[in-house]
Amino acid sequence: MREEHLLMPAVANRPLAGIVVLDFGQVYQGPYATLLMAKAGADVIKIEPPQGEPLRRRAPPGKSTTFPIAMLNSNKRAITLNLKHERGRALLFRMVERSDVLLENFAPGVMDRLGVGWEVLHPVNPRLVYASGSGYGLTGPDRDNLAMDLTIQAVSGLGRGDRLSGRAAGQGRPGGR
C-alpha cells in the first residue's frame, strides 16, 4: 500500500467524487478553492490561457514554476485554451456540457467579454454551477477595483502595522528603534 492512501481516502469515498470542476482560478483565491474541491474528490481541470496564469509568470529566471503554483494546482489536470479564438470557445462549450462547476475569479466582466460568461454558458448546461469571485463583488461602486489579499488589508485598515502591534498610529517600533 502506498503512503498517500493512508492520508487521503479513495476518491470514490470523498464527498465531491464524480463532480467535474472547470477551474479558471488565478493567483490564490480561485486556485485555493478548487484545490479544496480536488482534495474532496472532485475532478478539477485547471484551464489557463496560452501564456499561463499570472502566478505562473512569477517563476524565477530558469525555473518553469513556483512552489505556490505547484501546491495550489496539485490533484488537478491542466490544459490551455485560448478563449480569444472561436476554437478555444468551442472546446470550452464541449467541456461545459459535461461539467458540474465552473469557477473563475477574473475581474468582473472578463468572462462576458471573452464570450463565455454565465448568460452564454447557462443554455449550454443549465445545471452548471457558475462560481465567480472578485475582490469587491460583481455589482456596486467598487466592482471594477481589482483586489488581492494585501489590497483588502490596506483598504480595511488591517494592513496598518500599528493596528496589529497595539501601538498608536505614528509611534515608532518598540525599544525606540
pLDDT tens column, 73-122: 889 999 999 999 999 999 999 999 999 999 999 989 999 999 999 999 99
Measured distance CA(114)–CA(28) in Å, rounded: 22
The whole-number pLDDT of residue 138 equals 82
Measured distance CA(115)–CA(147) in Å, rounded: 23
Q: What angle do CA 177, 149, 81 make, to 5 degrees?
A: 140
For domain 4-136, the CATH superfamily is Crotonobetainyl-coa:carnitine coa-transferase; domain 1 (3.40.50.10540)
Q: Delimit the CATH 3.40.50.10540 region(s) of the chain.
A: 4-136
The whole-number pLDDT of residue 2 equals 47
The whole-number pLDDT of residue 175 equals 52
Contact between residue 24 and residue 106 where contact means Cβ atoms under 8 Å apart: yes
Q: Which three cell numbers stand for residue 58?
A: 512569477
Q: What band does 1 get if pLDDT is binned at 50, 70 and 90? A: very low
Measured distance CA(89)–CA(97) in Å, rounded: 12
Given a cut of 90, whether residue 153 has pLDDT beyond it is no
Q: Please indicate whether residue 75 or residue 145 has the higher confidence score (pLDDT).
A: 75
Read off the pTM. 0.78
